[in-house]
Chains A and B, each alone.
Chain A
Amino acid sequence: GAVVSQHPSWVICKSGTSVKIECRSLDFQATTMFWYRQFPKQSLMLMATSNEGSKATYEQGVEKDKFLINHASLTLSTLTVTSAHPEDSSFYICSAQSGGSNTGELFFGEGSRLTVL
């Protein structure tokens, strides 16, 4: 099956620093990748949709200057949390859709737990 790898799994950083999270599709080309944020005991909140080679589309209420998304290739998307603050602490999950699929099926990364001190 299709595999999506997310790195790092855990990251702790100081307030004011920036953190980059990578999402890679290992065995398929992901034309579209999605970034989610998940608060404790809550569902997934879609943050943005990224298509290879174009600017990401952000959901309402998500600060695009705070959460920088780059989808430079068909196998890699990155999320950079800039000037992180404690309220940015959360579980971030990426997912990818294969270009060959029309069902919308998503393949998820393992998630990245961000803790901002």
Chain B
Amino acid sequence: AQSVTQLGSHVSVSEGALVLLRCNYSSSVPPYLFWYVQYPNQGLQLLLKYTTGATLVKGINGFEAEFKKSETSFHLTKPSAHMSDAAEYFCAVSGGYQKVTFGIGTKLQVIP
């Protein structure tokens, strides 16, 4: 069984401030972890993924996430928020050849 918890359905940050979106997971097997971004009326786009190897993963648009097994976390960060980062972000977990489980999503608002 697997699950994802995203803390905070809405996060607001000022433009230029640090972005931190939290994700905790549970999985009975070594997990594959993903962050997706969704802009209004669009599908989901992969931001970054952790499969194996280096636990700090860099993705597109300056985002990165760190896999911490001891904390069962995969938080998404970006040093400096841009207005174009305003979107909904979904954390997801997979055990490989299994269904992907999504979190409820976090809507990021960037304040000018």
A contact residues vs B (CB 8 Å cutoff): 4, 6, 34, 41-44, 46, 49, 91, 93, 95, 102-111, 113
Tell yes or no: B63 within 8 A of A by CB.
Answer: no
B13 on interface, CB distance cutoff 8 Å: no
Determine if A46 and B41 form an interchain contact, defined as CB atoms under 8 angstroms apart: no
Contacts of B62 in A (CB 8 A): none
Chain B residues with Cβ below 8 Å from A113 are 41
In-complex Cβ contact of A104 among B43, B100, B104, B107 (8 A): B100
Going nearest first, the 8 A-B pairs with the smallest beta carbon separation are A104-B94, A108-B43, A108-B44, A103-B32, A43-B104, A111-B43, A110-B43, A103-B51
Contacts of A109 in B (CB 8 A): 43
18 contacts between A and B (CB under 8 A): A41-B107, A42-B105, A43-B102, A43-B103, A43-B105, A49-B99, A93-B44, A95-B44, A102-B96, A103-B49, A105-B32, A105-B34, A105-B46, A105-B49, A106-B46, A106-B100, A107-B46, A113-B41
